[in-house]
Structure 1
Amino acid sequence: MKTILLWFLLLVFCVVALWIGRYEMGWRQIGCVFLSWFQEGICEQNRNAQIILSLRLPRIVLEIFVGMGLAASGASFQSVFKNPLATPDILGVSSGASFGAILGLVLGLGKMGMIAISLGFGFLALGVVALIAKGSQEYGTIMLVLGGIIVSALFQSFLSLIKYIADPQDVLPAITYWLLGSLQVSGFDEIYLGIIGIAMGCVIIYLFRWKLNILALDDDEARSLGIRLRFYRTLFICSSTLVVVFVVSMCGLIGWVGLLIPHMARLLRGSDNAEVIPLSLAFGAIFMVFLDTLSRSISTDEIPVSILSALFGAPLFIYILKNNKGIRL
């Protein structure tokens, strides 16, 4: 019931997000745009249709998928690594994908080129982490985390090098703004590939979500239940990596969502991932729609969404810590 209410709340947020913006638009004008799909010429709306169908609606769809993807991958990593502070960038994938996207931006490869090269470097980062952890089965998850720290630092140094040699008048501001995170798009053509990738990762996590309860146990206890630890760890890590890479390639770095949202879900449903994952998907979508609506409407210039995610995420996480007397899986 709570999950259904959250999805209804998401629908309300999306309708409000269509209405709010720098360009004022009434409910009748918005209704005309959607009614014109079924009956042409019902009202004059060329400019309104362009704003809603090319700017606001694609952006809202992207917000929903980004929020769901980051929340689901965060919940997945927290169980796989048995760490309530695990986030989607724990394996250095975000840094690798960011480096790839910035390289594509500097080389002028366009949106699809940025996504492709970001995908390549994101999975390259994961592969390097896997090589570091290879052969250390007893401390497998610990070695993965340590490898992630090393790889993240390596790609952050590459990012700093690109920023150092970039043109300070033109390229450097674009890099800095992109790294702060933005969901600004100009049509569905820019996001459909990323949405497909995020949806694939989310579907896999959702379908096998109950396995996360077993992965959160000690390894010996999990093996005694007959689960194939290596297979399911790899499945969840690759699915979450797929989500993170596509989010980073399209929107830049967006923090706090993957850390905060799963704990909000656990406040309502405890530690059962069969319930936590669906709630995280809904909470993540609502959180991102709310944040991005604020980012594009509370000032004349758009505020990077990562700034707002930190401003809202930190106090909420403090509340969860105080309410729970700590954090749990």
Structure 2
Amino acid sequence: MAKASILLESGTNEVEILEFILGGQSFGVNVLKIQAIERYDPKRVTRIHHSHPSVIGTLRFRDHCLTMIDLGKEMDTSDRADEPGFESGKPENGEGTAAKLVLVMEFNQLKTAFLVHGVNRIHRVSWESINPLSPYLSSSDSKFTGSLQIKGREILLVDMEKIVTEILPRGQFQFSVEQVSDEALSRQRAERTILLAEDSAVLRKHVAEELHRGGYTSLRAFANGRECYDELVRLTAEADAAGRPVSDSVAALISDIEMPAMDGLALCRWVKQNRQTQDMPVIMFSSLINDQIVSKCRAVGADAYIAKPQFVELVNLLDQHTGLLEPAGV
């Protein structure tokens, strides 16, 4: 089944979520990650021995050979499939398909295939209707970034980046920033306060570590766009009352795109339409940088956009947009 996507206007804080099924439970993923949905044919899969327990093998997809992950096994939802009369490919309301399907996704500059038990439908919703996880559930061990209520059932949004990074680390450290050795440059970077909006606890920690290594030690992180927006509103009011520009408090904003409550595009649009913050550099740092997303970033006025996990280039962009010309070391 070919990928179907309705183009959403940039910065409207809307998203399309594909609801897929594992063990009768509903899960969700942003439609923009989906390249294709196909019926599962075991004959097309080449088994890989001594691999990660959740890796089935490789799948030939067009001109690519993709790693195929059993998402039910990874999410520990396979056991109920053996219950009498239980159809693991349908949510408990009985809707959707009951056939195993393959979701081919692309993010972080990598294509990966995921085996799921079924698919229900695509839901077009506002990010405001997606609930952030509680602090306990949003720990670095969580595989979810939020939840959504549809017709009385809960859809858990899966942190696909975390799953792939844990199963297929594939040289992620090649993008790491070297420890800054220039004391003057380190001091200049440390003087600049950077705001980060990122819903993944794992990535918030990782970005902080990389930026700190590069000298950007004054980093303030927020779990979604709404929290960052609230802080920017507070800082703007504070700056106005003191008769000084917001740039005295914030040098730049780094934002993910997919986030509960308020996404990065809506956050960027607000920053660029607000008189006090319109000159603040905004860098979109997302797993979903493709031609369509680039157009959306430009439409909301983003100063730059870069795909995760290119941390060296992220530091270079911070240098460029905060007035430092020295490039980060590779």
Question: What is the TM-score when the length of structure 1 is the normalising length?
Answer: 0.24
Flag the structure with more relative contact order, 1 or 2, with Cα contacts below 8 A and sequence separation at least 6: 1
